[in-house]
């Protein structure tokens, strides 16, 4: 069984794995790690210096959202699990459906991360926490990130409008990946919800799931979320 | 059957998929696309604007190395395939072995790409091809990228020294992903081979595979590889 997840509370990859674990009813202890510190003890666990890292009681250590999500999806369910209690598969459907799920995971954990979340976290949190860092975000970077965000939200809205869930009829890890990034952007006060009603309606569905509760209770030093962040009726 | 792969000849994600397809004996027509152009026709195929894109004769379109590699690995082999002719599995071994393969794919297609290949391609090729671009790479960016590259080659050498292939005893898609990035860095004349003998020995093994031949014959406008690039005895 997995026992510990090393993570940073606003890291979207960590958040997506926490959602997957919670959906599967897998309880783990959370170890907080500050990504801007590059601690030696953490690099010994994952030389890539990336989060999350999931540790098992048999000594197995899994690094990164890609490796962990595919591993969890591959996990045989306990015999006692009755059909009605089965968690939603992270990669539902047939081979072609799963290819669509993975395309979108790549979209959010790859492109969205590079063009929005990573930059926002760096400008608004990481660089203010570093001893040598400046305290104010660079307005030209924020402007570029906000333009990128609108492009991503328009695409997310297009998907949410056309489908029940982002990758198709069924909830999948693509929804958790997308919701993880959007929840971090929301925490940082950057979500223009009123401009994207389809994104809001989709996010309301996923935000109401019990697996989401722990994320909404998270706070990090140096930043407070807007009031509506943890409100299910935002 | 897949019929067409849209790619850019030096794009490492495209290269990794070309290696996988060649290992599986799947022949596809290659369509060249210039990533710096953001052509509308290409964005209609993949709104993420990323390569490669694999198209099937039944109309199915797969976008991105993650989605494509997992889809190919999931493909049932033709009945006629005898054991001796079976291609090497892209994700060999048990669940834990596969998690290690995926950790390393993430390393090369994620971290190595962000810290080395993407920057090198941008400085040495893309910006020289854009009408408005400058022609000379920024020396401070090149210096940072070269320092990053040494860190990545030290880690790759550590893996190559400790294991038969990068993820373990068996050749895997992690080797193809790593070799794809390193082959692009090599094309751009940036590989300090003599400093990393274990990386060189591993790369010689993979470079000698028939699947690698097409990559070694590639040339792009605006840049020629060093003489040893296509030499198997470099």
For B46, the closest chain A residue by CA position comes to: A103
B62/A103 Cβ within 8 A: yes
B103/A62 Cβ within 8 A: yes
Annotated domain spans of chain B: 2-85, 95-209
pLDDT of residue A233: 85
pLDDT of residue A129: 86
Helix, coil or strand: residue A208: coil
For B158, the closest chain A residue by CA position comes to: A47
User: Which long-range contacts does A25-29 make (Cβ < 8 Å, 24+ apart)?
Assistant: A25/A87, A26/A1, A26/A2, A26/A72, A28/A2, A28/A3, A28/A4, A28/A54, A29/A3, A29/A4, A29/A5
Q: Which helix (H) or strand (E) holds A156?
A: helix A139-162
Q: CA nearest A47: which of B94, B69, B100, B195?
A: B100
Torsion of CA B232, B123, B64, B46, to 10 degrees: -140
**CB nearest A66 (choices: B60, B75, B102):** B102
Q: Which two tokens stand for residue B41?
A: 């026709």
User: Which long-range contacts does A23-27 make (Cβ < 8 Å, 24+ apart)?
Assistant: A23/A87, A23/A88, A23/A176, A23/A209, A23/A211, A24/A72, A24/A75, A24/A87, A25/A87, A26/A1, A26/A2, A26/A72
A155/B67 Cβ within 8 A: no
- Report residues of chain A scoring pLDDT below 50: none
Express each pLDDT in B94-153 by its tens digit: 999 999 999 999 999 999 999 999 999 999 999 888 877 667 899 999 999 999 999 999
**CB nearest B63 (choices: A48, A66, A103):** A103
Q: Which two tokens stand for residue A52?
A: 């999350």
- Residues in chain B with CB shorter than 8 Å from the CB of A102 are 64, 66-67, 70-71
Contact predicate B52/B68, CB 8 Å? yes
pLDDT of residue B133: 65
pLDDT of residue B18: 98
ipTM over 0.90: yes
CATH architecture of B2-85: 3-Layer(aba) Sandwich (3.40)
**CB nearest A106 (choices: B67, B96, B114):** B67
Contact predicate B141/B123, CB 8 Å? yes
Interface residues from chain A to B (CB-CB < 8 Å)? 47-48, 50, 60, 62-64, 66-68, 70-71, 74-75, 95-96, 98-100, 102-103, 105-107, 110-111, 114, 155
- Report residues of chain B scoring pLDDT below 70: 77-85, 133-134
**CB nearest A102 (choices: B66, B107, B155):** B66
A114/B70 Cβ within 8 A: no
B105/A62 Cβ within 8 A: no
A64/B103 Cβ within 8 A: yes
Interface residues from chain B to A (CB-CB < 8 Å)? 47-48, 50, 60, 62-64, 66-68, 70-71, 74-75, 95-96, 98-100, 102-103, 105-107, 110-111, 114, 155
A vs B, Cβ pairs < 8 A, gives 82
Distance (Å, whole) CA A20 – CA A61 = 17
A114/B114 Cβ within 8 A: yes
Q: CA nearest A70: which of B179, B64, B180, B91?
A: B91
- B139-162 vs B197-207: helix crossing angle, rounded to 10: 80
CATH architecture of A95-209: Up-down Bundle (1.20)
């Amino acid at each position: 069984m997995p026992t510990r997840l090393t993570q940073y509370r606003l890291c979207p990859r960590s958040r997506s794995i926490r959602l997957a674990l919670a959906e599967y009813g897998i309880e783990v202890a959370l170890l907080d790690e500050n990504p801007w510190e590059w601690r030696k003890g953490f690099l010994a666990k994952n030389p890539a210096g990336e989060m999350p890292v999931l540790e098992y009681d048999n000594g197995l250590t899994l690094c990164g959202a890609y490796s962990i999500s595919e591993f969890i999806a591959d996990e045989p369910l306990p015999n006692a699990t009755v059909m009605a209690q089965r968690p939603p598969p992270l990669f539902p459907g047939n081979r072609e459906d799963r290819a669509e799920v993975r395309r979108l995971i790549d979209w959010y954990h790859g492109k969205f991360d590079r063009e929005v979340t990573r930059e926002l976290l760096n400008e608004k949190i990481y660089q203010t926490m570093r001893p040598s860092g400046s305290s104010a975000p660079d307005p030209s970077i924020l402007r570029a990130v906000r333009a990128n965000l609108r492009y991503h939200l328009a695409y997310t809205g297009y998907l949410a409008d056309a489908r029940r869930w982002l990758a198709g009829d069924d909830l999948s890890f693509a929804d958790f990946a997308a919701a993880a990034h959007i929840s971090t952007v929301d925490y940082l006060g950057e979500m223009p919800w009123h401009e994207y009603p389809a994104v809001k309606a989709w996010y309301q569905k996923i935000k109401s799931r019990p697996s989401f509760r722990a994320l909404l209770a998270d706070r990090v030093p140096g930043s407070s979320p807007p009031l509506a962040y943890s409100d299910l009726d935002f």
